[in-house]
Structure 1
């Protein structure tokens, strides 16, 4: 099932305090970026954030991990706290700090 544009817009709104947030459509789902860095996915109208040690500590006991799609590595599944803008923005900020910088794109010849 593909995700709805309205859900992607809602997620971007919820985490707008975490930097320059964009959602890019990918295969009927969405990649979520903060300041150009991919940190999460929206699949089947659910938010998944790449796991980091700081994110794991921040979430604590409420941590739920699941793969966003079949064959994918588990990510943090955000359900209960998706309405909490401040909490979610902080999770994104601390997670993005630990993620590697995107590799530069190669020029086509």
Structure 2
């Protein structure tokens, strides 16, 4: 079951004070990025954060589960905690800050000009 856009929009609003957060569609689900760092996914309308020491400490009691079949365990955030914007923003900020910055993108090489086609006889 794919996540609803409304769920993602709500989570983005709730975590807005953590910094610039954007959602990108990924295979019917959503990846969340804070300051360019991939820190969470929304799968089946559930929020999963990458496991970090800072996130575990903030959560206290941790529930881990894979966001999709075959994935490693991530931190599953109970939907009842989503209404606390300050708490959720702090968790998002701590998690993103604990992750390495994104690698700089390599500049694309310009394409070589195509050779003109030979005229047909």
**TM score, norm. by length of structure 1:** 0.93
Q: Deviations over 1:5-43 (max 9, x none)?
A: 111101101100100011111110000011111100000
Q: Structure 1 segments of 4 or more deviating over 6 A?
A: none
What's 1:8 paired with? 8
1:82-107 Cα offsets, whole Å, 9 max, x none, are 11111111111111111011112233
How many residues end up aligned between the 2 structures?
Answer: 108
Gaps of 5+ in 2: 110-121
Q: Which residue in 2 is equivalent to 1:88?
A: 88
> Paired residue for 2:119?
none
Counterpart-to-counterpart distance in 2, 1:47 and 1:104: 27
Larger Rg: 2
- Residue pairs, 1:29-108, within 5 angstroms: 29-61=29-61, 63-79=62-78, 80-108=80-108
Q: Separation in 2 of the partners of 1:67 and 1:107?
A: 34
